Amino acid sequence: MISITVIFTTFILIFLAELGDKTQLTAFSLTASTKNPLIIFISSSLALVTSAILSALLGGVSSKLLPQITSIVSAVLFLVFGFYLLFSKEMPLIKECFLKTVASEIDLLMLLPKVFKKNGIYNYEIINIIRQDRSHADIFKFLIKEKKFFNDDINESAKIGDLTCNLSLSKKIIKLPLGKALDEIIKFEQSSLDIYKFIHDHLDMEHHNEKELQGLLKELIKEENEHIRFFKDLKKGKENG
C-alpha cells in the first residue's frame, strides 16, 4: 500500500537537500551557457531519476539481506549526511564567478577564430584580442589557485550571481550572420567588463590592500573597452559597406 506520508516526507527531504547544492548550480550554469533550458532540464532530470532508482534498489536489497541492521545503518547514514549538509561550506560565490569567467574566456578563444575565418576577416587586431583574452583567463586561473577573495565580504554581494549569469557565449554564433555574431560577442565582452569593474571597485574599499591586482584589473578593463569598441566599429563598417 502506498503511503502518502512517506511520499510527502521523502519529497520534502530530497527537495531541501538538493536546493542550492552543486547539482542545481551545475544545471544553472549549463543552462546559462547553452541557452537550451529544455535539454538541460530533461538531461538533469534523467540523471537525478537514475540516481534515485539506484539508491532505492540498493536500499531495498539491503533491507532484505540485512533486515536487523538496515534500520540502524539508515539512521546513522541519515545523521551523517544531515550533519554534512548542515556544516559543509558551499562554494564561495566569487569562486564560481572566477570559474565561469575562465570557462567563458576559453570558449571565446575557440569561437573567435572560427567566426572570423568563416567571414574572411581574420586579421592582426583579432589575433591580438585573442591573445589578450587568453591572458585574462590565465589571470583568473591564478586567482582560483590562490583562493583570492574566497573568504572575503565580496561573497555577500547579490550582484555576483547576476554578473555570472550574464557571462555566456553560445557555440551557435559560428552559424550566425556576422552582424548577429558580433552582437553576441559584444554582449559577452560587456559582461566580462562588468565583472572586471565590479572586482576593481570592490578593491577600492578601505580594508583592501591589493594595489597590484587593482592595476592589473584596470588594464583588463582598458583592454575590454578596446575590444568592445573594435567589434562595434567592425559591425558598423559591415552595415555601412
Indicate the domain borders of the chain: 4-87, 93-240
| Confidence grade of residue 189 (pLDDT, cut at 50, 70, 90) | very high
The answer to whether 59 and 125 are in contact (CB under 8 A) is: no
Q: How far apart are CA 148 and CA 156, in angstroms?
A: 15
Whether residue 221 has pLDDT greater than 90: yes
Q: Which CATH class is domain 93-240?
A: mainly alpha
Report whether pLDDT(81) > 60.
no
For the chain, give the percent of residues with pLDDT over 90. Answer: 20
Tell me the residue length of the chain. Answer: 241
Which DSSP symbol is given to 90? Answer: P
Count the Cβ atoms, other than its own, within 10 Å of residue 64: 8
Question: How far is CA 21 from each of CA 14, 18, 27, 135, rounded to the nearest angstrom?
Answer: 11, 5, 10, 31
Cell numbers at 218, concatenated: 584596470
Candidates 197, 187, 195, 191; CA nearest to 218 is 197
For the entire predicted model, the pTM comes to: 0.62
CA distance 148 to 213: 11
Confidence band of 15 (pLDDT split at 50, 70, 90)? low
The C-alpha cell at 109 is 578563444
Residue with cell 583562493: 147
Mean pLDDT confidence for 70-97: 61
